[in-house]
Each structure stands twice: as C-alpha cells, then as structure tokens.
Amino acid sequence: FRRTLSASSLRMDAPQVSSADQGKADKNVVIIDALRDQTRDKFRALINSLKGIMNSSDPESKEVTDRLTFALSMENGFFWDDAYASDALDDMARSDIFKSVVSKLQGLVACHPDEVEPKSKEARRRLTFFVNSLFMDMPNAPSIHDMFSWNVLTPYYKETVTLSKGELETRSDALGVSTMLYLQTLFKPDWANFLERMGLQDEEKVWSKKYAAETRQWASIRAQTLNRTVSGMMYFEKALRLLANLERLDDDTTNDLMGEKFGYIVACQVYGQMKKDQDSKADDIENLMHRFPHMRVAYIDSVRLQRSGEMAFFSCLVKSDGNGSIQELYRVRLPGNPILGEGKPENQNHAMIFTRGEFVQTIDMNQEGYFEEALKMRNALQEFAKREGPMPTTILGLREHIFTGSVSSLANYMALQETSFVTLGQRVLTKPLCIRLHYGHPDIFDKLFFITRGGISKSSKGINLSEDIFAGYNNAIRGGQVAFKEYLQVGKGRDVGMSQIYQFEAKLSQGAGEQSLSRDVYRLCHRLDFSRLLSYYFGGIGHYFSNVLTVFTVYVVVYLMAILALYDIEKIGDRLITPMGTVQMLLGGLGLLQTIPLFSTLGVERGWWASTRELIQVFATGGPLHFMFHIQTKANYMTQTILVGGAKYRPTGRGFVTQHTPMDEHYRFFASSHLYLGMEMSAGLVIMAIFTEAGQYFGRTWSLWLASLSFLISPFWFNPLAFEWNSVTSDYVKFISWMRGNSGGAGRSWSIWWSEENSFYSKMPFASKIWFIIKSILYLTIAEGIARSNLLLADTTLSQPKIGVTFVVMAIVVLFLMWWLLGTVEHLMPYPVRRTIGIVIALGLTVSIITVFIEDKNFIRYGLAAYYGIGAMCQLGLLYGNKAVKKFYFVHDLVCGHIIFIWLFVNAILQIPHHIQTWLLYHNALSSDVVVSNILRYARKSQESGGTSAPNEDLVEQIAELRKVVQKQEQMIEDISTGGARSKPMRQNPSTDAIASLINAPSSEQLNIRHTMVAAPTPMAGMGRPTLSASNLDVWGEMALGDAAAKNPGYQTMPNVPTSATAGSSDFSFTQPDVMPPR
C-alpha cells in the first residue's frame, strides 16, 4: 500500500546509472522487492484469516473457501508471479481512484467505531434501512440489458421549484424568523458542513454571486420543493450508471441504455404560461433541465388561431439541448382544453403519451429519492415478472419514509400516523386481507395494463377528488393484483402546520364521501366476496364512517345524559341508576392498547427505548388532543359531503410553519367544524353537572370532557405564541375588527364569512334537513327542561323589584328591534351617526339584561332556556334561508369568541404556559440546540446589526447573555444524553481492532498524511476529508463514472468549487523510506 517507486521505473532509469552506483541501484531494486513481498505477506495473512472464520459445513462458505485457496495457489497470480505482482502494484499506485478507495479503507480500519459512525441521524437511519433491506426477500437483479424499463412521472402546478433569496430571507412572523434562519437552526450540522465545503468562514458571503446558487440549492433540497424531488428521482439514472460500470459496459452503450431503460417526466401543465409571464419558476425549471439532461418537461400550450378568440391546445415535451437552450421534442394537437375535471389527474393524463417505458412510477411533488434505494430498482421491477396468485401483479406499492417529522410536534404526529398506515396498514391490507388498492404515490403501475383499461387517473370534477384510489378500484374490478414490498423506500413530506393538516384531512374526508357515492365503489362491492368486502370496509371508507359514528355517539351520549339529569329520570322507579364510572375509566385506559402496533414498529426500526420515549413524548406534548380533534375533522367533512356535496381540492401548501396564526383566522377555519360542537358539548356537560344526582360525575364524563376540550383547545395549543401577551392582545383587536367588518371578503368581515359558510343549508334536500330538524327538537327539549327546573328559583312575592321586570323586558325587545332596523338601513347613514346609535343600543341592551338578572334571578334560568330555544329557531331559520337569524348568530359567535379569549388571557398572564407550549411544540426540531423563543428573535437582530458600523451596545450585551444561556442549556442536554458523563471512553471492538492490526502491522515505513486545517464552525476530527451531510449527498459520483471522471465532469453534478478543504489526492504525501526493513 505504501508503494512510491515502481520496478519498471527503476529499469527505465538503469542506463543512466553510473557503474560506481550500480550496487546502490541493485540495492534499490531489492528495496522494491521487499515492499512487494511485504504486501504479499499481509495479503496472505488476511486471506488465511478469512478462511479461518469460514464455516466448512456451509456450502456457500465452502465455495468461498475454495476460491480463496485457488487465489493463494495460482502460479501465475499475485502471490507467486513476481513480474505480475510488481505490474499490478504499479497500476494501483498510478490510479487516483485506487488511492481514494485505499485512503477511505485506511480511515475505516484504523479508527474505532465511535469515530467513523455517522453523526447525522438521517445518515444512520438510511444506512440502517439499506443494510436491513438486503436481508429481505428480494428478486434477483437481471443485467442492465435485460431489466424492465420504466418512467417516473411527477405532476406539478405552481409550487415552489427552487427557493429564492427573497423567499429565504423574508420574515413574516412575530419572532422575525426567516425560512433561511429556520433551516440553519433545524439543520445546524448540515449548515456547518456546507460552509466547510464552500470554504466560507463568513456567513455573510453565502449570498455573493459566487455562492448564491449553491446556497439556494442547499436550502431547496431541505424543503418540500420540486428541486428536491427532481434531484432525488434522478438518482435512478446515476444508480443505473454505476451498475452499468460494474458490468463493464462502455460509455456509448451506457448512454444508449439510459435513454432506453429510464426516463423522468415532470408534467408541468402551466410551464408555457410561466414562460409568457416571465415567471422566475420557469427559469428554475430550465435550470433543472440543464442540470439533468435526461429530464423532460411536458406542458400544455395554447395558441390563438383567429381574431375571434378560438384557441388551439397542444401537449408539448421539451428538454435541454446541452448548450444552454431548451429544445422542443414533440407537439401534439389536442381537440380542446384538456383540463376539464380535477387538475392533478388531468395533468398526469396529458403527459402519459410521452412515457416510453413498460412501467410508470408516479411520484408526487413532495417526495424525494435516495441513491442507495435506487440501486434496488432493478430488483423491484422484477416483482412484475413473478405471479403470486391467479392474477398478474399490476400495481407495486412501496414503503414511504416521512422526512418532515422533525419540524415540530404536529409534523411528528403526522409522520407517526403515516408510518402506521404506509407500513402496518398496507402490510395487513396486502396480506392476509388481499384488498390493498392504490393510495397515491410512489406506486409503480404496469403501464400496458392500465392504458388499455382506462388509464391511471380518473378526473371527473368532484367525484374523483381522491383520484389515486380510483386507479385501485379500476385495477381490482378489471382483474389486476396489488403487491406491496418494503425493501425499497421513497421519502415523502407531510403537512407541518395546524391549518395545513386540517385542510389535508378535510380533502381526504370529502374524497371518501364522494367515493361512497360513486359507481366504482358500487360495482366493486357487488363483485367482492363477503370476507374481502369486510376487508375493504376496514381499509377504505369504513374508517371515515367509523369517525362519523364515533362523534355521533359522543354527541348523543352527552345530550342523553343531560336530558336524564334535567328531567330527573336517572332512576328506574325509585332506584337510582348505578353509575360505572370506575369501569368506564378502566375501559378508557384499554384504548392505550391501540398504540401497541405502532410501539412494536418503532421498536424494531429505532430500538425499544427510542420507541418508548417517542410514545411518551406524543402523550406529553398533547398528541391525544390532536388525534381526537381530527376525528371530528373527518366526521364533519364526511357528513357534509354526503348530505350536501361540495367536495373540492384543497391546496395545503408545502412550507415551514413557524409564524403565529391570528385568532380570527383560526375562528374562520375551525368554528363550524369544531368550536361550535365543543361549546355545545361543554354546555351540555355543565347542565348535567348541575342537575345530576347519580354520582361519579368525573368517572362518567371524563372522556366526554376530553373530547370537548380537544375540539376547543387544540387549535390554540398547537398555534405558536398563542399564549404570549402581545400576541393575545393583538389577536383580540383583530378579532373584534373582523366581527365588525362589513366589506373586504371573508377574511375581513364576519358577515361575509357567515354568509359563505352557511350558504349550503338552504340548498339541501329535505331528507338531509331532517337531521337538523331533529337537532332543533333536541334544543327545545333542553330549553323546556331548564325552564321547568328549580335552578336559581326565587320567590318574587316577598320582595318587590324596584324596576318593573315587564318594563325592562319590553325595553330589551324594543332595543333588539332597533338593532335589526339599524342593520337594514345602516348603509344609508353616515358613519358617525351609525356608530353612535350602535353604541347606545349596545349599552342599553347590556344595562337592561343585567337589570333583569338582578331584579329577578328567575330570569337567569329563563335566559338559559331562551338561549336554547332561540338556537332551535335559528337552526330552522337557517335551513329555510331566513336572514333574520344572522343577528343571533353574531351574538353567539361573540360569546364563543370571548369565552375562548378569557382562557387565552389567563394563560398569557401566567406566562408559564407560553414557555411550556413553545418548548413542547418545537421539542423535536430545536430544543436540543437552541432556546427557541429567544435565540431566534435575537439571531435576527444580531444579523441586522452585524453590518452596521456602530453596533448597539445593549443588543451586544443581550446577545452575550443569551449565548451563555444557550451554552449552559446545550451542556445540560449533552450531560443528559450521555447519562451525566462528560467524557466517554472509547469502546473496544475486537473485530475491527484485529483488522486494523493486520493492515497496520508494525513497520518502519510511515504513511504521512497531511491534514489541511480549515477553520470551520464544526471541525470534524479523525478523518482526512470533511464529513459531508447525508441529505442528497453525491457519494458515488466518481465510482459511477470510473476513470473517465477525470476527463469528463460527472453526470448530473454541480460545478465543484476548489477549496483547501477538499484538495483531492493532494491531501496525501508518499515518501521514500529511509531505513530498509529486514527481509
């Protein structure tokens, strides 16, 4: 390994050697022979050691042993042929790739496991999964020539392609946190590695012209962007190039096979319009095409034919011509505008004609690929050649890894939920239930099967809202079979904010409602046997029906228990009902058993201690509230879609959610679906608490209270800075302004929002209205019970009121009529007059109501009864389009809003809930590195003051103090994570130590390695080259291209910036030994 001079070079130089130095030259030749022999001895000892550990009884081990013995005994081989051995060592000494491999091998065997183990959790996860997957049942891979061909198809609309400097630097929240600062904090080690790779010591230079593109690329592949998806999917081609290189295929043959076996098409339907509008996203898409020459973009182009406005539509396919321009490959005339139904499936359908492979893999825009997984794609495609059962495999499902779980607690909940479905759920649906369908990307389709049976996407408006599942229905009806394999995974991003998750769940629920009304489900259910029919219900729309029944049951139980207590019928005859509160609590605890499957999955993949800690964190951070909240989300939109219709696609967004959402926006989102129901159930439980006589109130109602509070509290608990005083006061001002607004859309006016939100009631068929009529009867029953009860019963015959109650009641009625009249003619009045009259009426109503309650306490009971009675009338008025009920709903929303604000103000005054909430909400992402609520705020200030000539002294002091706090917290976290030990002794590993001692046998020769010291934020010790980040790392670029990499820059590689930190082969220096080792 330490060869510096070759025997051939000495022979070439022999004629120039003088006779006086002939003996010295011969001695030098002897030196070379000694190095060769020393290398032989070490290789011979290594091979003998390998033979010693082989199991002779195992046939495979015996075959390996025979091959090793043959290598040791070949007369014309390395161990016995001196000339061949010298030439082989010469060739290796001249090869840069060999030097690189040997230096990496040296680093692996000469270091202890703790030094070479990747520090990145993501790197460890990917390596662990890849190694484990190699032991799974996987078909043998054919040669590149014989493998199946496939295309990857990604539908794209107007999402972010590559994050721009403006998007990264814009600050839009109360903390002043930009996306760039958030990413730097979330991926702190990766950012340090990036600066080291670029050779930057000053972070201010990252936006210079030289590094701006690299900085945008670094940020984009860590967000949910098209850049990340394309970069990941093009690893398939890089993996095929590596495999072709291992099969000793020449470059021309490899390039031909790449176009034949793989293709990537981005269906960007509005790319042509972007070009016309000079949208920067079009430029970013073109940059991707230039980076990846085999990437294609399909789009819809429209051309005006005549002055009358008639348009011609074309499906176009473009690519990069390799010279910085875009070349059009195909232009297909269409009979009309192809976007007739849902946009996403229509986008996929128009691009399907440009796919050339035998199979099509659909990849969504929030997914990514991994190089090591791409190596197994040949094996995965062979699943279609197998026939497991009577029907052919037509859809191959793959495992997904949710990479957004570390962003926040909400994102972690979604990641765990998806992990449960895409692993446990789909595994069971495949075997033994045999009813797995197509649930979305990244499934692989048998293209020939599907294009002759209706395609992979149905796109009718409304009914095909969840277009993915209909491909599964079509496949099952027409005789296809679905397989699901877990040895290959694809990354996937999920929604990370409360509003995003809400819209996502609403979209799925509305899609399930439309499915239950579709012909496809009707036909499928009539053709399934009874067992598979039950399995389909379990794995399909039955999940959403179960959520509807769960919420309906909770609602009925609350009102049933309240009515029994209100009418004093909690008994049979004279015997009270015996409550079973203790048993109910015990049964509720059994619900924790449902976490066992998830616990087992996490335990196998991450370790049992990590699995236990994960579940504890979920419960501690409010996970049960989140999941109960979205049970109601699914139930509400499933019911609404079946009764009313109106399903529509809801874009959820892909960004990071770090900003605070105002109260008025939360109220618009969640009032109709959650807040009203939470208030209603809480009021019913309070009424029950007042009138019940059965006992064990907490034991009987704890689960009902938990459900009610989850509907009310969850939107605010998972809202950043919801309990900070400044945010609460600002939210209150915005909420009151929104309630008073009369124009500007639903975002600025309660009146417009209410009209839009409740417009569907009057359009419902009578059969759907029956449910709401029953609800009105329920309100009237509660109102009658309260009015008859003895609650706050007062005898007015003993004390005459000072003000006649009848007179006050008449005044209240008159004031309400004046309020109604004011609302009808307010547009005719000037603002000062309208404002003054409104204040007078409001004060009059307030004083009158308080007076009535003081003079006669019975009116408190009558007021509660009237509240339910008016609610019943308003519900009926809403069903039949009576606009007079709008004023009463305004009062109801005002009351509900203030009840919520009382809770928010109390938590803001206490201040402790604010700090607890912030830490728990971002525990997964930031708590191990920073003090969340402070460091982000002051990091922005320090960046702003960094470029000024006279820095603010107070700010400098605050930052200095803050740094001390951060260092102290980091030290505490480090102590906790290491069990209190500051210094951890190096663990000994006998196997690696034996290999290290074998390779590095004692010798007088020394291998001199020059470590180039580079000042970096996070120096990496123990390695000759800096440790790079694991996300989308181009590890195999040189190996995939072989020796041609030195002449021709590697395929799909970005220009490398030469720095002192990555000097290539110049990092190593080989010197001639001064002392001859004994022969």
pLDDT(17) > 60: no
pLDDT(4) > 80: no
Of 298-307, 624-633, 663-672, 977-986, give the lowest mean pLDDT range: 977-986
**Cis status of the peptide bond prior to 345, with omega within 30 of 0:** no
Per-residue confidence (pLDDT) for residue 118, from 0 to 100: 85
Element (H, E) at 153: strand 150-156
For range 37-46, the mean pLDDT:
88
Q: Residues 580-602: pLDDT tens digits? A: 666 766 666 666 767 787 888 88
Contact 822, 814 (CB under 8 A): no
What DSSP designation does 465 have?
Answer: S
Q: Residues 64-89: pLDDT tens digits? A: 888 888 888 888 888 888 888 888 88
Per-residue confidence (pLDDT) for residue 600, from 0 to 100: 83
Which one has a higher pLDDT value, 893 or 939?
A: 893
Per-residue confidence (pLDDT) for residue 559, from 0 to 100: 94
Per-residue confidence (pLDDT) for residue 968, from 0 to 100: 61
What DSSP designation does 437 have?
Answer: -
Beta-strand ranges (E) seen in 351-392 are 359-362, 367-368
Cβ-based burial of 915 (10 A; exposed 0-12, middle 13-18, buried ≥19): middle
What DSSP designation does 1062 have?
Answer: B
Neighbours of 633 (CB within 10 A): 23
Of 513-522, 847-856, 1005-1014, give the lowest mean pLDDT range: 1005-1014
Q: What is the pTM of this model?
A: 0.74
For range 689-697, the mean pLDDT:
84
Per-residue confidence (pLDDT) for residue 791, from 0 to 100: 77
For range 608-616, the mean pLDDT:
87
Q: CA 739, CA 671: separation in Å to the nearest integer?
A: 13
Of 152-166, 491-505, 633-647, 854-868, give the lowest mean pLDDT range: 854-868
Contact 699, 607 (CB under 8 A): no
For range 206-229, the mean pLDDT:
93
Which one has a higher pLDDT value, 336 or 4?
A: 336
Per-residue confidence (pLDDT) for residue 647, from 0 to 100: 63
Per-residue confidence (pLDDT) for residue 987, from 0 to 100: 43
For range 36-53, the mean pLDDT:
87
pLDDT(1018) > 80: no
Per-residue confidence (pLDDT) for residue 896, from 0 to 100: 94
Q: CA 350, CA 344: separation in Å to the nearest integer?
A: 10
Q: CA 149, CA 350: separation in Å to the nearest integer?
A: 21
Closest CA relative to residue 1074, chosen from 23, 21, 28, 7: 28
Contact 666, 539 (CB under 8 A): no
pLDDT(106) > 90: no
pLDDT(980) > 70: no
pLDDT(939) > 60: no
Residue 959: pLDDT band by 50, 70, 90 thresholds? low
Mean confidence (pLDDT) of the chain: 79
Q: In b/e form, how buried is each residue of 84-109, taking b as 16+ CB within 10 angstroms? A: ebbeebbebbeeebebbebbeebbeb
* Chain Cα centroid distance, residue 380: 25
For range 607-635, the mean pLDDT:
89
Q: CA 636, CA 672: separation in Å to the nearest integer?
A: 9
Q: CA 96, CA 644: separation in Å to the nearest integer?
A: 70
For range 1062-1071, the mean pLDDT:
39
Per-residue confidence (pLDDT) for residue 963, from 0 to 100: 61
For range 107-134, the mean pLDDT:
85
pLDDT(251) > 50: yes
Q: Residues 383-416: pLDDT tens digits? A: 999 887 788 899 999 999 988 877 778 888 888 8
DSSP letter string over 1015-1046?
Answer: --SS---S-SSPPPPSTT---SHHHHHGGGGT
Q: Residues 708-748: pLDDT tens digits? A: 999 999 999 988 888 989 889 999 999 999 998 887 788 88
DSSP letter string over 291-352?
Answer: H-TTEEEEEEEEEE-STT--EEEEEEEEEE-SSSSEEEEEEEEESS-S--S-HHHHHHHHHG
Q: Residues 789-841: pLDDT tens digits? A: 887 766 555 556 666 667 777 887 888 788 778 777 777 778 788 778 888 88
Per-residue confidence (pLDDT) for residue 703, from 0 to 100: 87
Per-residue confidence (pLDDT) for residue 1008, from 0 to 100: 41
pLDDT(1055) > 60: no
Per cent of the chain over pLDDT 70 is 77
Phi, psi of 1060 (to 5 degrees): -70, -15
